[in-house]
Amino acid sequence: MIATLLASYAAVQAAVRLPAVERWLRERIAAELRARVGEVTVAPGVSIDPLFRATFGPVTVPGASAREPLVRIDRVAVRPSLLGLLRGRVEPASIRLSGIRVSPGPRGRALRAFLDRRPRPGAVADPRSSTPPRPRPAPQSPLPVVHLRGLVVVLPLGRGQAELGPLDADLTAAREAAGASFALSLRAPGGGSGQLTAQTIGDDRWRARLRLERLSPILLPPQLRDGPATLSDGVVALELDAESDGDLSHVDARVRASGERLFVSGERVADEPLGPFKLGAEGSVTWDAAERRVAFRDGVLSLGAALRVALAAEARLGSGVPFTASFRADGADWTALVAALPPALAPPPEAPRPRGTFDAHLDVSGPLLAPAAWTLGAGLDLTRMREASRAGEPVALRRPFPYQPVNGDGERGRAFEIGPRTPTFVPIAELPEHVVRAVTTSEDGGFFGHPGFDFTELADAFARGAEEGRVVRGGSTITQQLAKNLYLSREKTLARKIREAAITIALEATVPKARLLEIYLNLVEWGPGVFGIGAAAQHWFGKDARELTAKEAAFLASIIPNPIRYHGMRARGSPSDAWEQRVEHILLKMTEQGALSDEDLLRALSEPIVFREG
């Protein structure tokens, strides 16, 4: 008996190695793949090992161009079911795909073209086609386990592309009387893992669940890791539960994402990696194919336990992809928020430490693909923080304090007091109104009305930057300039801007507007080593600041953005004609705002500007 079995085994092994049998196997495999997948190419050659495992490849599915196929699989190994063989049927027990490369193409064009041309389940074959119809598997037929090894997904990135992976995965599927189900186990570089399960519900619905854990930034393509700002360390988790119609015409999902020990790196971020952060996000997502609309509802973004931001957003597929998004933070605690930030983002110890909570909101709408056309609306309410500040101990800035300015090299210069012991100090109450209004008109027209940030100016600066494809200067208020001058360096990084924003809120919550402006006027730079309005009036015009005319005040306001660069005109004795126009523009704006009468304007326009000699 054993001898007979061994002889039969040897005869079968010899038969499957015959060229004609191998050719028949390859044609059968190619026909089966074409019936299930559509257009596909299988390289010549099929080998059968002693356990009747068939190995073949490469296998390619064409893409949008001849250069890059949609799918390429270097090697396919199929292990048959031994029980099936004993029953006289060839049934795969497992399929192993190695060296898989998937290239959906720009905007997924190659993938969409494949889905449009692939055979539909149950379709009747064209009698003129050599491709057989897709066979309907028997309900009791077991489905093979599929092992994916070395899966790489090519993502379009600008004018180039980036590779995601390699990943390993195992796919199991089952058919039952109640429907079908499958499970995909995923293993990613860096120890990350994932599980995707899906099953049918009734005749025309399905339910899916996705769990991703401990995903590392090393999974990101190098092109994304080496950008101006990138996630450089930490772990990310994602959970998604979804239900859908069979044709994906309507999908409802609940998504939860979290990140721990996150660090962000990049030249524009900070000198050192910025972190750690603990972030979270969750919400409900709905897709409606009939309306071509995706909506995000009941969303919450969180920074540890300190900040929770409500989020709602909606977008429609169409020209420009119109969208709306709304962010709301109610009752945010400044102290808890600052404590949740990494040390590199915390305000310095000498900055004010306000108490209380604030409210903030941001609304954005417009065509997603045209940021220059977005409409932005934002607000910040510091009422409760100001009330808490009035009830507490006054901060140091409300009294005379020492100030050490920063020179052009970023080093601190000679210290002086912002107070009456400095001879050039001028209390704001003693300055003519046109001096104060000239500075606010030029630097921060909404100073007395905004909470430290001029959101209208910020929106305009964003729109100009989006249109020109670069970061545009603008929107920095007097309070923001104070935060930078008093406590920060001049580096142009995201870390500094975040610290500046936190300090700006603290200043607005603890120091009255008039005192903020008084400090600003007495420390801002008006030339090399010339700090404060008192010193500026003497340096440029040889007079007391209390005696400055409206035109002289407008001139001083015009040079605040870059007093060192503009200082060269002092040697000429008077400003150029072009600079006279800048000064006149400020005077006209002051008149429009009611700071000057028409008679005052005419008098100022006729007045010559003469600089102090020497």
Extract the residue ranges of the chain whose pLDDT is less than 50: 5, 9, 12, 15-16, 122-140, 472
| Amino acid 133: pLDDT | 47
Amino acid 210: pLDDT: 92
Q: What is the pLDDT of residue 302?
A: 95
Report the Cα 326 to chain-centroid distance in Å: 16
Distance of CA 603 to the CA centre of its chain: 52
**What are the structure tokens assigned to 305, written together?**
């336990």
- Give the β-pairing of 41-42 and 46-48: unpaired
Tokens of 42: 């299988």
pLDDT at 479: 96
Three-state SS annotation for 286-313: EEECCCCEEEEEEEEEEECCCEEEEEEE
| Residue matched to tokens 């007391």 | 544
Query: Can you give the pTM of this predicted structure?
Result: 0.80
Q: Dig out the tokens for 589 from the structure.
A: 């704006």
pLDDT given at position 41: 80
Q: Name the helix (H) or strand (E) containing 106.
A: none
Closest residue by Cα to residue 438 from 296, 225, 600: 600
User: Helix 577-592 to helix 598-606 angle, to the nearest 10 degrees?
Assistant: 170
| Euclidean distance between CA atoms 363 and 328, whole angstroms | 9
